[in-house]
Homo-oligomer: A and B are copies of this chain.
Amino acid sequence: MDIVTTHARRSDALSKERIVETAIEILDAGGERAMTFRALTARLATGAGAIYWHVANKDELLAATTEDVITRVMTDVPDDSDPEEAIRAIALGIFDAIDAHPWVGAQLSREPWHSAMLHIFEGVGAQLQALGIPQRAQFNSGSALVSYILGVAGQNAANARLLPRDTDRTAFLDAVATKWAEHDPAHYPFTRQIAAQLRDHDDREQFLAGIDLILAGIATLR
């Protein structure tokens, strides 16, 4: 289509892109519960049918928003010559994206073999090849890394959902730690003991520690 010869289009013309963009704004501002078709139509000043013209249904729309965020992460991840370092960078990129958009975490762990996950899988896999992991072990290794990342993603999303809008993090961890410590010591000795460490642990660091554990395990296969 020739931009020069076409009439100037309404700057707010509807498109899947613009719908996805708006959906992301709503999700960021109000979370998953706020992202309804009514909120979308209000914000886009249109009818429900207009959105369905560009998007099959809500699931597809949510998948597209997730894909959008993850694509950006995978594009922005700095290229590192050290494959292990590159895997850490991918993982941290996703972690930070979910920190900024908690709903992505929930969406990632709801989606199956699709789009967004494949992006991650592909990024990790390339580094596994560079690491010299034997062919037969690459599938299991990549799958383990991705599953772990998705697991943490889901947890982070769940925590964000639980948190009353911008709670103080220290206060939150304190509350959780107190709850953990309340459990019957006879049945929960480990949890009780760990409760103390919960208060001043760093989610991001712990996430990376997990990645490193898996990488150490993978190194074993070489």
Contacts and interface: CB of A to CB of B under 8 A. Distances in A.
Contacts of A37: none
A206 B139 contact: yes
Interface string A167-200: 0000000001001100100011111001001100
Interface residues of A, number: 59
B155 A147 contact: yes
Interface secondary structure of A, over-half rule: helix
A106 B157 CA distance: 13
A154 to B, nearest CB: 4
A109 B109 contact: yes
So how many copies of this chain end up in the complex? Answer: 2
Most chain B C-beta atoms within 10 Å of own C-beta, residue among A139, A194, A213, A221? A213
Interface stretch (A9-17, A77-85, A158-166): A158-166
A28 interface: no
Contacts of A128: 190
Nearest to A153: B151
Contacts of A147: 148, 151-152, 155, 210
Given A121-B190, A212-B217, A213-B141, A152 B155 contact: no
